[in-house]
Amino acid sequence: MPANKTYPSHKNANGEVDDEFYPLIRKYKDGRIERFMSSFVPASEDPAASRGVVTRDVVIDQGTGVSVRLFLPVQAAQAGTRLPLVVYVHGGSFCTESAFSRTYHRYATSLAASAGALIVSVEYRLAPEYPVPTSYDDTWAALRWVASLSDPWLAKYADPSRTFLAGDSAGGNIVYHTAVRATRDDSIMDIQGLVMVHPFFWGPERLPAEKVLDGDAMFPPVWVDKLWPFVTAGGAGNDDPRINPPDEEIALLSGRRVLVAIAEKDTLRDRGRQFVCSMRGCGWVDGSLTVVESEGEDHGFHLYAPLRATSKKLMKSIVQFINHRATLPSPAMVIPGGSAETMLGVPSRPFKDIFGYGMRMKRWSGTSFGLKVGRAKASTTSYGLRLKQARTFGDPVSAPTSVRFAMRNCF
Which residues belong to the active site? Answer: 169, 266, 299
SS3 for 111?
A: helix
283: closest CA among 252, 243, 304, 312? 252
The CB density around residue 169, as the number of other CB atoms within 10 Å, is: 25
Q: How many CB atoms lie within 10 A of CB 394?
A: 28
Question: What torsion do the CA atoms of 276, 171, 229, 183 make, to the nearest 10 degrees?
Answer: -70
Separation of alpha carbons 299 and 266, rounded Å = 5
Burial class (CB in 10 A: 0-12, 13-18, 19+), 76: buried
Q: How far apart are CA 351 and CA 262, in angstroms?
A: 14
Cα 373 to Cα 357: distance, rounded to the nearest angstrom? 38
User: Pick from 159, 35, 150, 12: which is nearest to 85 by CA?
Assistant: 159
Q: Report which secondary-structure segment, H or E, holds 25.
A: strand 25-28
> Cα-flanking dihedrals φ and ψ of residue 391, to 5°?
-110, 145
Helices (H), 116-240: 134-148, 152-157, 170-182, 221-231
Beta sheet of 384-388, edge-to-edge order:
370-373, 384-388, 391-394
Nearest C-alpha neighbor of 87 from the set 152, 166, 153: 166
Q: Report the alpha-carbon angle 38-20-245, nearest 5.
A: 85
DSSP state at residue 94:
T
